[in-house]
């Protein structure tokens, strides 16, 4: 039977790592720099070695959660622009088939497409503001992808190191003796 105190400690440790991951992730996004996550991961690996796999996995889970929120932010920005333009008589699907295609096009292109709109300036302002916000979110997503790749690389390295500490096994689970060649 498991020791209840060990379970409490394991839960507290997981909560602590999760909180640290959240804080460092937020710091990386705020500073637009991966140095804080590099320090955290390297400290974990140096302190715990292969036992840091669970903590590294927790960091990846937090990063994935943050990624989901950023993707939701992109969708909300697109829907808000769609609603705003709809009130002005403009259909966003005429301008962009998907949210990210807004980022690829310059405002003069939109101005040409919307030549028929009487009050074009508020429409262009709404597009420009949304485009800027979306670019910011996409920049954070790119940084987050770099972060996740970095942590994933360390995670695979730690898993490989852990596997190398195991005794070799043959099919069926048997472990060979010390002499491999006779």
Q: Could you report the per-residue pLDDT of 6-59, keeping only the tens digit for each?
A: 766 666 777 787 888 899 999 999 999 999 999 999 988 888 887 788 889 989
Range of the domain at 36: 7-161
Rounded distance, CA 176 to CA 89, Å? 76
The answer to whether position 170 is within a domain reads no
The per-residue pLDDT for 91 is 83
Q: How high is the mean pLDDT in each 10-residue block of the chain (182 residues)? A: 66 78 93 94 86 87 95 93 88 76 77 80 88 94 96 89 72 57 50
In a 10 Å sphere around its CB, with 0-12 CB exposed, 13-18 middle and 19+ buried, how is residue 118 labelled?
exposed
The per-residue pLDDT for 171 is 64
The per-residue pLDDT for 11 is 67
The answer to whether position 106 is within a domain reads yes
The answer to whether position 169 is within a domain reads no
Can you count the helices (H) and strands (E) in the chain? 6, 0
The answer to whether position 42 is within a domain reads yes
The answer to whether position 179 is within a domain reads no
What is the total count of domains within the chain?
1
The answer to whether position 129 is within a domain reads yes
- Count of C-beta atoms within a 10 Å radius of residue 97: 10
The answer to whether position 120 is within a domain reads yes
């Amino acid at each position: 039977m498991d020791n209840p105190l060990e379970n409490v400690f394991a839960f507290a440790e997981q909560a602590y790592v999760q909180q640290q991951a959240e804080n460092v992730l937020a710091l990386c996004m705020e500073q637009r720099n991966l140095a804080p996550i590099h320090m955290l991961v390297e400290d974990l690996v140096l302190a715990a070695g292969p036992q840091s796999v669970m903590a590294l996995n927790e960091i990846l889970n937090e990063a994935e959660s943050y990624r989901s929120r950023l993707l939701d932010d992109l969708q909300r920005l697109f829907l808000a622009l769609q609603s705003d333009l709809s009130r002005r008589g403009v259909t966003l699907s005429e301008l962009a088939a998907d949210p990210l295609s807004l980022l690829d096009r310059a405002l003069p292109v939109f101005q040409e497409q919307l030549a028929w709109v009487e009050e074009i300036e508020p429409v262009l302002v709404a597009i420009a503001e949304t485009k800027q916000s979306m670019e910011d979110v996409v920049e954070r997503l790119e940084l987050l992808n770099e972060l996740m790749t970095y942590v994933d690389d360390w995670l695979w390295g730690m898993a490989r190191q852990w596997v190398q500490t195991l005794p070799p096994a043959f099919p069926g689970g048997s472990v060979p003796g010390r002499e491999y060649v006779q």
